[in-house]
Chains A and B, each alone.
Chain A
Amino acid sequence: MADTSNLLALFREVVEEVDKKKLPDVTEKSVIADLGIDSLSTMQIIGELENRLDIMIPDDQLVKLETVGDLLAVVERCAAKKG
């Protein structure tokens, strides 16, 4: 399964697709809002990550996603469950 650095690369790729943004310096500590990614784009980015990793994150877990790390942690948890 995708490890964290792979996930970060995938995140970058998806952001570029969804938001036409290149984020070479993004880290897990980056605050999503500071990257100019709004809540709607966040929803799309999560959706794309779900599609690519073939996972489904329950809606109620999509709260308090401040940093890129918060977001990837939810994705990772869900991917791990899938095994």
Chain B
Amino acid sequence: MAMLGHEGERDPVDTRLALKLYEEYKTFFKNAERTRRWNVFDDIPWDKIRKDVPEELALVVETFCAVEAYLPDYVSGGLALVRPYMGSLWFQTNWGYEESKHALSLQEFLLQSGARTDEQMVDLQNKLWAGQRWTPLFQTGRQMTIYGAIQEQATFVFYVRQRERAKELGHETLATIFDFIARDEVAHAHFYEGVVKVLLEQDREGTLRDIATVTRDFKMPAYDLVPDYDERVLVMRELAGMDRDMFFQKVYFPVLKAIGIGRNDVVQAMARQRREAQPSAE
């Protein structure tokens, strides 16, 4: 039975799952249309943009911009994994539209503030696209859905911290951008969480196993693709105060809570995986 499986799997669609995913998508999209739409050109106070952006802040914005720039790869990789489920497919396409606004507004901020020139941005894009493609970190749609929940929540926490930082520094335009983006990110996290709940209902043990796998191998997207990412991460971590404790307290545990499982469920799934990996004693 296809259950957000591997790319190219053509097993029969699970009707109940298909209907549930469609419902999840409708809820997501309805809320987006009613309460969350924003316009890059009209809703951001571009007239208040300041030209004195500290380099450390510019580097943060540029790094996010670079991570968001892999969007075409994220979308194509994601779509391939969730076929043929319409709810998840449509989510992916809509998600792509929302993420493209993130990249666009961040890029416009860098340009309009004078923190980066047109040439520098083109140069960065060239570097990004001359490198490798992004490929999904996990092999099945279910694992990538779990990954999405954690990753979007992490991104949400990150943008909220950056929003506060931008406010402190008096960069209202940037704070507004971060605010709009953060709202989108948490909505993305909620969609994925809703889907994971459905998947848990359908196959609790298998989904827990996947949660254990994703927990073990989690890393932020494009981690090894963005030029100088390691140095950028250090700067961003310092700025955002996102350490290990914070990751667990603000990202990981809240996601587990939202999908209705406890830390111990994951620990036990990990223990099962360990036992399975051990050669049997007999």
Chain A residues proximal to chain B, CB less than 8 Å: 17-18, 39-40, 43-44, 46-48, 50-51, 56, 59-60, 62-64
Q: Does B34 contact A (CB under 8 A)?
A: no
Q: Are B216 and A40 in contact (CB under 8 A)?
A: yes
Q: Are B267 and A63 in contact (CB under 8 A)?
A: no
Interface string of B147-174 (1 = CB under 8 A from A): 0000000000000000000000000000
Given A47-B264, A51-B264, answer yes or no on A40-B249 (Cβ-Cβ < 8 Å): no
User: 9 tightest CB-CB pairs across the interface, nearest first?
Assistant: A47-B267, A59-B253, A63-B245, A39-B244, A44-B267, A47-B264, A44-B270, A40-B216, A59-B263
Among candidates A44, A56, A62, residue contacting B248 with C-beta atoms closer than 8 Å:
A62
Q: Give the residues in chain A near B253, CB-CB below 8 Å.
A: 59
Q: From DSSP, what is the main secondary structure of chain A's interface residues? A: helix
Given A39-B244, A40-B216, answer yes or no on A59-B264 (Cβ-Cβ < 8 Å): no
Q: Are B249 and A60 in contact (CB under 8 A)?
A: yes
**A38–B245 CA distance with the chains assembled, in angstroms:** 12
Q: Give the residues in chain A near B248, CB-CB below 8 Å.
A: 39, 43, 59, 62-63
Q: Are B249 and A63 in contact (CB under 8 A)?
A: yes
Contact-residue bracket for chain B: 10 to 19
Q: Are B249 and A59 in contact (CB under 8 A)?
A: yes
**A51–B263 CA distance with the chains assembled, in angstroms:** 12
Number of A-B residue pairs at CB separation under 8 A: 42
Q: Give the residues in chain A near B247, CB-CB below 8 Å.
A: 39
Q: Give the residues in chain B near A39, CB-CB below 8 Å.
A: 244, 247-248
Among candidates B215, B264, B271, B274, residue contacting A40 with C-beta atoms closer than 8 Å:
B215
29 A–B pairs (Cβ distance < 8 Å), ordered by A: A17-B274, A18-B274, A39-B244, A39-B247, A39-B248, A40-B215, A43-B248, A43-B263, A43-B266, A46-B267, A47-B267, A47-B268, A47-B271, A48-B267, A48-B271, A50-B264, A50-B267, A51-B264, A51-B267, A51-B268, A56-B264, A59-B249, A59-B253, A59-B263, A62-B245, A62-B248, A62-B249, A63-B245, A63-B249
**A59–B216 CA distance with the chains assembled, in angstroms:** 18
Tell me, rounded to whole Å, the shortest Cβ–Cβ distance linking B243 to chain A. 10
